[in-house]
């Protein structure tokens, strides 16, 4: 079969590129105002089909979401056959195709891609896709489908789903009938197997107290309802921010990003929490999870991705030791520069810790190097991955005592509870609740594992964020020249001061992170650096004047 040039041209003409727009496949795919993405979606459809053919018909996933971004934004990312993020080298191809300026140029670029990889177009193309609750998703999915039609690809539309469910389904479809079969390739199958593993893991433990879940007015609420059905009395949820009718409500004064960035309760949650009661927030596509609670002094306390990582890594390390598998299974942790310095200090004393650039794909890759790799970004993205060697050890190990056998049983349940393709806020939430039940921890006890250094996160709108280039896992700037020295000179004036600047991959801003021994100092560092960026680039230090973001 040759490239279907006529169909490509016909469909491509229906989705012309806006001449002024520059697209970039960033941290989490393409992401910007939904109204600008029509041509991108069509081209992503074509690219997904080509990638599938390249992989001899393996199913490729496409998720239409802008996650934590405001409701007017939308986005799209591709998922590789194992449910992981698109291979890095193909991100460049996505960017190239999205930026071709005419149908002819687009078809030439597609042709070049096919020839470069010597892709046999006779292979079938299979693409599984879903979208979040954003209204713009409807038309964008239609554009994506035109891309699939142009290539004669088979599409499987999963409708409105969370991002982690899409990733899971892709892996299940591709491993079906193989020794690596990951599970039943249905949403129901996923929910049921995850819920079953949770119920087994907490059998005999005190039932967790009712949990307030902020659904960010997004698709996470749909999945939470499904989970609740299968979990029955094992755990009770109090869903909040579950308005799916009002599109403008998505992520508005709600959700994991709101809580983490503002370091405060979503306004709707504060009045319903009793002191000590835990609550958690999902984000717009339910792949981030942040916990928090009200302490006895009626203050907000954050339990972010770092605290989740410490809790989970500690639990797994205990299980490995308890089962007598120390030395046979190595547990490691992966963080980014955003990890609170206190968490890194605490964790480094207990297990190997790696630091990588922001973006799930980087953390995931690094975590695969361990027997059990735990990774969490401070913003609540994360999961645990088990290596093939670990699966083998768990399957063949003969425990010597009943206690070891019990720990082994718990270890064997974890891979069934955890979505290993990408972090799922909901399965992560069940994991946290199971660990807390095992450890008999209250929110306060969990919080006390280590004490966070006060910190501040700001965003600065700059004329061109692409001039910001980093090194050392984004901890230092190499460009604009001289800016890192200005930052260093300022930060060294503060005890325990640490700060870094990096361009966002999902928003048109530069992010500033600062931490120090007290909040006033962390704020001072962050503000000063925002000022430096402003002076050097002519940026706007605040997206909304006077407010920390």
Per CB under 6 A, residues contacting ligand G16 are 27-28, 67-68, 283, 287-288, 358-360, 377, 379, 381, 504-507, 511
For the bound state, the minimum distance from the C-beta of residue 357 to ligand G16, rounded and expressed in Å, comes to 9
For residue 278, say whether it is annotated as part of any ligand binding site. Answer: no
Find the shortest distance in angstroms from Cβ 95 to ligand G16: 16
Exposure on the CB side of residue 79, measured as CA atoms within 13 A? 31
The neighbour count for residue 358, using CB atoms within 10 Å, is: 24
Q: Which residue lies nearer to ligand G16 by CB, 27 or 126?
A: 27
- Pick 305 or 454: Cβ nearer ligand G16: 305
Its sign, for the CA torsion 391, 127, 25, 249, is negative
Encoding tokens for residue 162? 């969370």
Nearer to ligand G16, 146 or 285 (CB): 285
Give least dist CB 419 to ligand G16, A.
14
Radius of gyration of the chain (CA): 23
Q: Which of 12, 52, 67, 427 is catalytic?
A: 67
What CA–CA distance (Å, rounded) separates 398 from 541? 60
Q: Is 67 among the catalytic positions?
A: yes
For the CA atoms of 17, 22, 27, 30, what is the dihedral angle to 10 degrees?
-20
Q: Which residue, chain included where needed, has tokens 């890594």?
A: 313
429 within 8 A of 499, measured Cβ to Cβ? no
User: Does the annotation place 287 within a ligand binding site?
Assistant: yes
Residue with smaller CB distance to ligand G16, 52 or 336? 336
Is 154 strand, coil or helix? strand
Taking the complex as a whole, how short is the minimal distance between the CB of residue 129 and ligand G16, in angstroms?
A: 16
Residue 285 marked in a binding site: yes
Using the 8-state DSSP alphabet, how is residue 522 labeled? H
CB of 446 to ligand G16, least distance (A): 23
Please check if 306 is assigned to a binding site: no
Tokens representing 468 are: 């910001």
**Does residue 409 have a known ligand-binding role?**
no
Number of helices and strands in the chain (H, E): 18, 19
What's the chain's length in residues?
Answer: 549
Nearer to ligand G16, 12 or 281 (CB): 281
In this complex, which beta carbon is closest to ligand G16, that of residue 28 or of residue 235? 28
Nearest-approach distance from CB 380 to ligand G16, in angstroms: 8
511 is in an annotated binding site: yes
Please indicate if the annotation marks 428 as binding a ligand: no
Please, where are the H alpha helices in 334-482?
Answer: 341-348, 360-367, 388-396, 402-417, 425-439, 443-447
Cα dihedral sign, 344-533-547-459: negative
**Cα separation of 430 and 424, whole Å?**
10
Q: What is the spatial distance between Cα 400 and Cα 402, in angstroms, rounded to a whole number?
A: 7
* Residues carrying an active site annotation: 67
Annotated binding residues for substrate, as ranges? 377-379, 502-506, 511
Annotated binding residues for Mg(2+), as ranges? 67, 283, 285, 287
């Amino acid at each position: 079969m040759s490239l279907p040039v006529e169909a490509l041209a016909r469909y491509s003409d229906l989705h012309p590129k806006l001449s002024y727009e520059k697209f970039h496949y960033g941290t989490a795919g393409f992401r910007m105002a939904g109204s600008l993405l029509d041509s991108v979606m069509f081209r992503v459809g074509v690219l997904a089909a080509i990638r599938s053919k390249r992989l001899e018909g393996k199913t490729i996933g496409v998720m239409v979401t802008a996650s934590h971004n405001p409701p007017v934004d939308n986005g799209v990312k591709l998922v590789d056959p194992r449910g992981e993020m698109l291979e890095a080298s193909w991100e460049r191809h996505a960017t190239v195709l999205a930026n071709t300026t005419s149908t002819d140029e687009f078809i030439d670029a597609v042709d070049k891609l096919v020839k470069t990889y010597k892709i046999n177009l006779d292979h079938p193309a299979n693409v599984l896709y879903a979208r979040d609750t954003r209204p713009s998703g409807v038309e964008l999915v239609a554009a994506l489908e035109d891309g699939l039609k142009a290539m004669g690809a088979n599409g499987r539309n999963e409708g409105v789903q969370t991002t982690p469910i899409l990733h899971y389904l892709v892996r299940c479809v591709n491993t079906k009938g193989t020794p690596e079969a990951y599970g039943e390739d249905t949403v129901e199958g996923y929910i049921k197997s995850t819920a079953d593993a949770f119920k087994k893991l907490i059998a005999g433990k005190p039932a967790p107290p009712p949990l307030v879940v902020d659904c960010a007015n997004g698709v996470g609420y749909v999945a939470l309802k499904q989970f609740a059905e299968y979990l029955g009395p094992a755990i009770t949820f109090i869903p909040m921010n579950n308005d799916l009718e009002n599109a403008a409500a998505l992520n508005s004064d709600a959700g994991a990003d709101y809580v983490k960035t503002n370091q405060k309760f979503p306004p709707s949650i504060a009045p319903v929490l009793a002191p000590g009661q835990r609550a958690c927030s999902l984000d717009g596509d339910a792949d981030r999870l942040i916990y928090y609670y009200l302490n006895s002094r009626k203050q907000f306390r954050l339990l972010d991705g770092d605290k989740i990582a410490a809790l989970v890594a500690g639990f797994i390390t205990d299980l490995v030791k308890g089962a007598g598998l120390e030395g046979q299974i190595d547990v490691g942790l992966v963080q980014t520069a955003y990890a609170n310095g206190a968490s890194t200090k605490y964790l480094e004393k207990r297990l190997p810790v790696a630091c990588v650039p922001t973006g799930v794909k980087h953390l995931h890759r690094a975590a695969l190097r361990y027997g059990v790799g735990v990774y969490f970004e401070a913003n609540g993205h994360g999961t645990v991955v088990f290596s093939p060697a670990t699966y083998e050890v768990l399957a063949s190990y003969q425990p010597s005592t009943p206690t070891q056998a019990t720990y082994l049983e718990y270890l064997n349940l974890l891979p069934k509870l955890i979505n290993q393709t990408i972090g799922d806020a909901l399965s992560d939430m069940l994991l946290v609740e199971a660990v807390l039940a095992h450890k008999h921890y209250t929110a306060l006890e969990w919080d006390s594992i280590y004490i966070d250094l006060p910190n501040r996160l700001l965003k600065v709108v700059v004329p061109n964020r692409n001039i910001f280039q980093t090194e050392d896992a984004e901890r230092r700037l190499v460009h604009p020249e001289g800016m890192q020295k200005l930052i260093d000179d300022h930060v060294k004036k503060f005890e325990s001061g640490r700060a870094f600047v990096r361009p966002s991959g999902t928003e048109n801003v530069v992010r500033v992170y600062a931490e120090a021994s007290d909040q006033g100092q962390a704020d001072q560092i962050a503000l000063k650096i925002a000022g430096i960026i402003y002076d050097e680039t002519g940026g706007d230090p605040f997206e909304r004047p006077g407010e920390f973001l």
